[in-house]
Amino acid sequence: INAAVFGMVAHGIITGMLFFLAGSVKDRYHTMEMSRLGGLLQQAPRMGWILGFCVMASLGLPGLAGFWGEFPAILASYNPAEILNEAVFRSYMVIAAIGTVLAAGYLLWMLQKTAFGNARAEFADSPDITDASPREYLAWAPLLVLIVVLGFFPRLLHEATDPAVRESLQVEAVNGSPGDCLEVERGEECFERLRRVGEQAGSGR
């Protein structure tokens, strides 16, 4: 659960930054067709490096925020809780790993098409192609800092989400005392108890 929560937060930060960059590229080149792009590292080197940084973060490079969502989630699928079907979750792990490889291929291809090589003739001397502006740096800085900080200090987010994660697994044990559903019971009854607790919380009872 922690890996899934971390993955959603990291995805929001990294993908948000990639959307910022896509908008900046479109603002300069007036197109989003990758076949017409290229040479960003020549014409706007700082923006090109930031794009490369965000691509690496999205791929789950260790030391960046994306790593703590992808790798632990895949690893957890290899050894699921006893009440879960091991074969099913290991199949999920394989599917997730294949998806990670495909995503890496696409992102690296996108980076190669847009950032490397020489600028196309139609944009080679365009006055619109400028590097990142101070206003863009100001907007991007919080996201870039979070990508690095959460990559090196994932505990900051885990400490914020752990209470809610633990609370989601708390049910009344058989003897009436609070307990962890996955430790107190096994099988479908555990999930049925969690469902009832969720319904009661939603109805305010």
Whole-model pTM above 0.85? no
Distance CA 20, CA 113 (A): 18
Rounded average pLDDT over 125-151: 93
Inter-residue contact 40 to 48 (CB < 8 Å): yes
- To which H or E segment does residue 52 belong? helix 45-58
Structure tokens at 186: 């096994």
- To which H or E segment does residue 180 belong? strand 178-180
Q: Provide the pLDDT for residue 181.
A: 55
Q: Give the tens place of pLDDT for each residue, 176-201.
A: 444 555 554 444 566 566 566 556 65
Q: Give the tens place of pLDDT for each residue, 12-71.
A: 999 999 999 999 999 999 888 888 898 999 999 999 999 999 999 999 899 999 999 888
On the question of pLDDT at 94 being above 60, the answer is yes
- Domain positions in the chain are 2-153, 169-205
Where on the phi/psi map is residue 37: left (φ > 0), alpha (ψ -120 to 50), or beta? beta
